[in-house]
Amino acid sequence: MTKRLHNKYALITGGTAGIGLETAKQFQLEGATIAVTGRNETGLVDAQALLGNQALVLKSDACNVEQQAELAQRLMDEFPKLDIVYINAGDVTHKPLEDWDETSFDQVMNTNLKGPFFLIQSLLPLLSDSASIILCGSVSAQIGLAQSSVYAASKAGLISLARTLSGELKERGIRVNSISPGPTQTDAFNKFGLSKEKRETLIEEVKALVPLKRMGSPWELAQAAVFMASDESAYMLGSELLIDGGVGNL
């Protein structure tokens, strides 16, 4: 039986941890040749060990426009084409309105919207004529969650790009769609600097917000990404796929 991503070349940004790393594993299992990016040196080393030498593991900061052009050039040197682009790298900073300053605002917007825009621009010469570009949005763009203002706005902009860039690239056969996760159980909860007790309390509070009363798993999000990357989703264009436990609809 032919694997769903057989002979396809894929890039996953933010692919060294969490949803991105699980997606990279699933893409490989479905036959894709993959490249992943990350910023953390330890994460890069660990991802290379997990994904094997057949994977291209590259250091790249999604918020830096110059590095997006450098990433595209490296891929042009390594890959004959690019069939799948999964823009997964993101900054999930949440804080009260009064705590934001211009620097922190720009950091989120550059990582979640500006960097991805210019990465796609830089990758245009490498994209195959049936390429699938998947943008990782967020259910936060659909709801009014307190303290998510800048993050949610950046993701709303990214979801909008799935529509507008689809209109621009459809004549080339390039599809752009978005996947919007709801709360997902990843090691991101370990990065908030909370004690174990407070972290567990936060996780239970987040679960309570989800109609299904649980968080999603990286595997569930990765399976959605495989579908979006494969020819099975060939009739989807400019669409948003909510994988959120009902948060955005109920």
Q: How far apart are the first and last CA of the chain?
A: 39
Read off the pTM: 0.95
Is residue 64 within 8 A of residue 16, CB to CB? The reply is no
- Which of helix, strand or coil describes residue 240? strand
Q: Interior CA angle at 212 toward 134 and 24, to 5°?
A: 30
Q: Count other C-beta atoms under 10 Å from residue 30's C-beta.
A: 17
Q: Do the bridges between strand 82-87 and strand 9-12 make them parallel or antiparallel, or are there none, so unpaired? A: parallel
Instruction: Tell me the β-bridge partners of 10.
Output: 34, 84
Residue 81 makes CB contacts below 8 A (sequence gap 6+) with: 9, 126, 127, 128
* Residue whose structure tokens are 């195959």: 128
Indicate if 151 belongs to the active site: yes
Query: Using the 8-state DSSP alphabet, how is residue 244 labeled?
Result: S
Sign of CA dihedral 81, 132, 226, 223: positive
Out of 3.30.460.10, 1.10.420.10, 3.40.366.10, 3.40.50.720, the CATH code matching 9-186+217-243 is: 3.40.50.720
Catalytic residue among 9, 86, 151, 235: 151
Q: Interior CA angle at 244 toward 130 and 94, to 5°?
A: 100
Is residue 26 within 8 A of residue 88, CB to CB? The reply is no
- Which of helix, strand or coil describes residue 83? strand
pLDDT in single tens digits along all 250 residues of the chain: 889 999 999 999 999 999 999 999 999 999 999 999 999 999 999 999 999 999 999 999 999 999 999 999 999 999 999 999 999 999 999 999 999 999 999 999 999 999 999 999 999 999 999 999 999 999 999 999 899 999 999 999 999 999 999 999 999 999 999 999 999 998 777 766 678 888 888 889 889 989 999 999 999 999 999 999 999 999 999 999 999 999 999 9
User: What are the extents of the domains in the chain?
Assistant: 9-186+217-243
Q: Return phi, psi of residue 158, to 5°.
A: -70, -40
Query: Using the 8-state DSSP alphabet, how is residue 216 labeled?
Result: B
Give the CA distances from residue 74 to residues 46, 51, 57, 134, 141, in Å, rounded to whole numbers and listed in that order: 21, 19, 11, 20, 33
